[in-house]
Chain A
Amino acid sequence: MAAMLEVRDLTTGYTDVPLIADLSISLAPGEVVALLGANGSGKTTVLRAIMGLLPAWQGRVVFDGQEVTRRAVHERVKAGLVMVPAGRRLFFGLSVEDNLKMGGYLTWESRLLRERMAEVFALFPELGKLRTHLAGKLSGGEQQMVALGRALMARPRALLIDELSLGLAPVVVERLMPAVEKIRNLFGIPVLFVEQDVLRAVELADRAYVLDQGRIAMEGHPKQFAQDRRLIRAYMGV
């Protein structure tokens, strides 16, 4: 099957030292793929580079058959590549509804926005009750739901999720993780997600990459290397 998202030999970084080098990953339609690795291994950088928030030095990013390597961030979003950033980055002074509305910026048509909001509230019934509440007053888990919902408002054709579990209690993560699966099953959106919590990620993903110092150290079916020592070593950085 042709890949929805194809990253080929990508090299980039913030200063003049590459943080990720010759990195190749792919995401097939309907697939849920985990990107694992220790702190500082470059996971977030990979997502930022795919979105175009960080320009690629070398290599290509191909989305749905189109080369987007040199395209601006907003053009990639328009094409259907949408990211849920780490730490949620909501507008705390705005209501849940207005935060969701911002996610639908490219449409901004009230009928469509209402339709999509209803979908989000169907996915996260908790949010429906909180729609007029300020995002800043919600719990971490609820905020993460808003962040996921906001991304869905843009009608993504592929979703990148950066650290869903960041700063959340394990119980909350337990309830959020199934949402990722639902997103795939209900909307048929392939998901590439970065995760610290290996065991949970392994349960969820069809495939996983392990990133070590900016390079892919391993790739495969997560269950087959869940117990693998190499994974533990790469992940723990020992």
Chain B
Amino acid sequence: MLEARLSSFLREGQRLQVSAAAVGAVALAVVLLLLPNWLSGYWLRITTSVLMFATLAQAWNIITGFTGYPAFGNTAFFGVGAYALAILVTKAGLGIPAAIVLAGLAAAAFCAVIGLPILRLQGHYFAIATLALSLFVREAAANLGWLTNGAIGIVLPTLASGSPEEITRPYYYLMLLVLVACCACTWWVSVSRFGYGLRSIKADEDAAACFGINTTLSKLVAWVLSAFFTGLAGAVWALWITFIDPQSAFNLAIAVKFSVMALLGGLGTVAGPVLGALLVEVLTQAIWGAFYAVHLAVLGLAIMLIVLLMPGGLMQLLRDRLATAKRLLATPSAKESWR
């Protein structure tokens, strides 16, 4: 039923693309599942970090890429997820899986409460309000000592012991699971009626309302989904680094990173934010190794160049190249040779 409805909406070409994407996704899944067997502890940590940032960039993509609301303050939900997990594990003694899911739900619930008033703002005002929100939650975490241990922070138990590879492995798989769930959700957004609604809100909110879209509810659901996955990533991150404090859990530098990644990959696409996260993280490592003293300056320069040379992101670039290739294949005629 669902499939029939779906496929009737996709034209032939799109259907082919979907099946190609499905094959690619399965191959990718196998590689990702086996990857920890081949990587050193160092590269496993970097890969886990790629997975985490890919999740954050993807979650941000739902509210910013699809809906057009620049929620830089998503770090608030990252921190709420991290703290919720730490509190649930150390104070309430909850099991890890339940604590992770509840931490994601806590971030989502927090977003549902503060979302309604903040989503009344648009553009820069919205962006700044979300930044203020993130700072506010950080101060709250620093001052609610009875719950959060204040500036002292919370120490968490480790999940595994042994070699560096063995220690990182469970976090790798947890992060992978969160990323896959987040990408699946984004894919659903990209093909569903709900996602079309979000995109029309991004294009023209008044016009969207005139089609009968409940814009207030759609925006809120989009942000709550974004907060849920951001919170899940924060929860797994807290487990992984085993010590959190307000400075590290509500770190705006994280927002700079995931937004650059999403922009670089391509907003409003499913694969873009993941590609962007991979590129930026690998680039960061390479530059860090090669230019130890000035690596931040070189990284900044690289990002500026990339944004200048491909403002539409990697996905746009790939799509353009693909379209050009198709055109060249379709018309090997006078026109092209004449040029």
Contact = CB atoms under 8 A, between A and B. Distances in A.
A154 B210 CA distance: 10
Contacts of A187: none
B200 A110 contact: no
Contacts of B207: 85, 89
Interface in B198-217: 200, 203-204, 206-207, 209-216
Given A110-B5, A110-B9, A53 B215 contact: no
Contacts of B197: 105
Nearest to A153: B211
Contact of B214 (A53, A74, A103): A74
B333 interface: no
Interface string A99-114: 0011101101110000
A73 B196 contact: no
Give the most central of B8, B200, B209, B214: most A CB within 10 Å. Answer: B209
Interface residues of B, number: 19
A106 B212 contact: yes
A216 interface: no
B200 A74 contact: no
A106 B210 contact: no
Tell me whether chain B's interface is mostly helix, strand or loop, or mixed: helix
Nearest to A88: B207
A77 B9 contact: no
A236 B197 CA distance: 41
Given A110-B8, A110-B9, A105 B211 contact: yes
A124 interface: no
Contacts of A91: 200, 203-204
B193 interface: yes
Contacts of A101: 196
Given A72-B216, A110-B9, A82 B203 contact: no
Contacts of B212: 74, 77-78, 105-106, 154
Contacts of A83: 210
Contacts of B215: 73-74
A77 B210 contact: yes
Contacts of A105: 193, 196-197, 200, 211-213
A73 B207 CA distance: 10
Interface string B215-233: 1100000000000000000
A72 B212 CA distance: 9
A96 interface: no
Interface string B1-41: 00001001100000000000000000000000000000000
A78 B211 CA distance: 9
A53 B209 contact: yes
A103 B210 CA distance: 9
Nearest to A108: B193
B227 to A, nearest CB: 23
B216 A103 contact: no
Contacts of A109: 5
Interface in B168-220: 193, 196-197, 200, 203-204, 206-207, 209-216
A27 interface: no
B231 to A, nearest CB: 29
Contacts of B206: 53, 85, 89
Nearest to A79: B212
A73 B5 contact: no
A32 interface: no
Give the most central of B9, B193, B209, B211: most A CB within 10 Å. Answer: B211
Interface in A133-189: 150, 154
Closest 8 CB pairs of A and B: A77-B212, A73-B209, A106-B212, A110-B8, A105-B211, A89-B207, A108-B193, A74-B214
17 contacts: A53-B209, A74-B212, A78-B212, A85-B207, A89-B204, A89-B206, A91-B200, A101-B196, A102-B196, A102-B200, A102-B211, A105-B197, A105-B212, A105-B213, A106-B211, A109-B5, A110-B9
Interface of B: 5, 8-9, 193, 196-197, 200, 203-204, 206-207, 209-216
